């Protein structure tokens, strides 16, 4: 019994040892499987099914590209006008770029407004030319989304209007000089505002000014007060390809650089029969004058010197064969279209300073006429006061013969 019992006890002890080892082994396997992240553990009841959990977390989403498109001009559009804007759409407009190239691949200068999603050419495009628009928007991880579209501009039309400037590059003119643009045909009123927008004036130093339509074929520009002495003026007229009539287009663009000289103001009083000449605010000469007699009075108002001729001939015989005259004249300076001048009149020197005997002109002596001629510039100001007749606006460059408020009414932008 004791022997048998002892044997049984030993067997029982070994059995408990094997159970303990097995339990430890199983526990180790479970711990190993849990730490290893194995996706197969059939003894855990998973069989060959994939585990639904992973320590790597959810997969990162694919980067999304910003969508871009050219919305105008339409793809492959023909006969596009030369100043057409390029419009586009983008989901990331702040970081979107637009490049326009011509048929040779040269980039066209323009201004990109990212708030309005529009590109505007800095100058008119060329007639009958193909252009390519490329719109690019960046995306994540260095990727970009790019789209291209092409269009072709209109051919040069048969109905084109020549636009000219009275003034040219490099001229120096007086402080009252208006800028003058002329058109080869009448511009309908509905197009005049756009014409004004295309004619920009830059003055240095800056001065307030505006355009005024003198007629359907002529428009002037003046500042609020006389130009400051020494002002540099640049004006840019961009009318090539711009509609300026029903079926008519501007022929070309032009630019003008010029300068305002010293300030010279001439003031003529009929009461005193004298002209006071001021340069840069200081009186430099007082000149006796004879103005128009009562039957042919001089005009009272503010005018400017329009043209100068050292020697010319006044001939009125075509207008008045009976009472007309033909007379050589020295040191003539035109101030009205109707034929009023400042000029030398040696035949009236005895009357100058006390009696009016002219046909409407401002008569001065031969010597003072030459002196004054040598001092003046086209655009210098002359104001005549106290005569029997008022200056009619339009009889010459009468831009200063009206108030600023009245002058502004002639603009289609004010």
**Is-catalytic flag, 361?**
yes
Looking only at the bridges linking them, the beta strands covering 282-288 and 274-279 are antiparallel
Q: Give the bridge partners for 51, in sequence order.
A: none
* Selected catalytic residue, list 35, 220, 311, 361: 361
Q: One of 35, 220, 343, 359 is an active-site residue; which one?
A: 343
Q: Are strands 130-138 and 209-215 parallel, antiparallel or unpaired?
A: unpaired
Q: In what order do the strands lie in the sheet with 209-215?
A: 163-165, 179-183, 218-223, 209-215
Query: Helix/strand/coil (H, E, C) string of 288-347?
Result: ECECECCCCCCEEEEEECCEEEEEEEEECCCCCCCCCCEEEEEEEEECCCCCCEEEECHH
Are 110 and 85 in contact by the 8 Å Cβ rule? The answer is no
Q: Which of 167, 172, 307, 303 is nearest to 231 (CA)?
A: 172
For 74-95, letters b (16+ CB in 10 Å) and e give eeeeeebebbbebbbebeebee
Is the alpha carbon torsion for 29, 30, 36, 41 positive or negative? positive
Residue 343 appears among annotated catalytic residues: yes
Helix ranges (H only) for 143-239 are: 189-197
Q: Which residues are catalytic?
A: 343, 361
């Amino acid at each position: 019994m004791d022997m048998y019992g002892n044997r049984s006890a030993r067997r029982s002890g070994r059995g408990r040892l094997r159970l303990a080892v097995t339990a430890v082994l199983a526990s180790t396997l479970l711990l190993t499987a849990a730490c290893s992240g194995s996706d197969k553990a059939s003894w855990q009841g998973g069989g060959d099914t994939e585990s639904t959990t992973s320590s790597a977390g959810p997969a990162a989403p694919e980067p999304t590209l910003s969508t871009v498109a050219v919305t105008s001009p339409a793809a492959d559009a023909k006969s596009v006008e030369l100043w057409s804007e390029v419009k586009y759409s983008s989901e990331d407009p702040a970081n979107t770029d637009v490049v326009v190239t011509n048929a040779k691949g040269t980039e066209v200068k323009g201004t990109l407004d990212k708030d309005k999603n529009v590109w505007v050419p800095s100058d008119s495009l060329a007639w009958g030319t193909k252009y390519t628009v490329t719109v690019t928007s960046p995306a994540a991880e260095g990727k970009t989304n790019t789209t291209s579209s092409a269009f072709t501009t209109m051919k040069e039309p048969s109905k084109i209007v020549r636009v000219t400037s009275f003034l040219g590059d490099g001229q120096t003119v007086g402080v009252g000089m208006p800028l003058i643009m002329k058109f080869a045909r009448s511009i309908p009123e509905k197009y005049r505002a756009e014409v004004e927008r295309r004619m920009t004036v830059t003055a240095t130093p800056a001065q307030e000014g505006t355009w005024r339509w003198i007629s359907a074929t002529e428009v002037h520009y003046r500042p609020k007060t006389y130009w400051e002495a020494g002002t540099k003026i640049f004006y840019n007229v961009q009318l090539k390809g711009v509609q300026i009539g029903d079926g008519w287009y501007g022929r070309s663009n032009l630019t003008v650089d010029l300068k305002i000289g010293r300030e010279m103001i001439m003031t003529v009083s009929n009461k005193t029969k004298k002209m006071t000449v001021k340069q840069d605010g200081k009186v430099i000469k007082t000149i006796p004058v004879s103005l128009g007699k009562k039957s042919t009075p001089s005009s009272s108002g503010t005018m400017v010197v329009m043209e100068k001729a050292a020697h010319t001939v006044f001939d009125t015989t075509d207008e008045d064969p009976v009472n007309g005259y033909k007379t050589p004249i020295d040191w003539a300076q035109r101030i009205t279209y109707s034929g009023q001048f400042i000029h030398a009149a040696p035949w009236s020197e005895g009357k100058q300073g006390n009696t009016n005997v002219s046909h409407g002109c401002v008569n001065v002596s031969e010597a003072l006429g030459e002196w004054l001629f040598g001092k003046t510039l086209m655009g210098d100001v002359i104001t005549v006061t106290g005569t029997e007749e008022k200056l009619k606006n339009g009889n010459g460059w009468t831009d200063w013969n009206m108030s600023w408020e009245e002058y502004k009414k002639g603009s289609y932008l004010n």
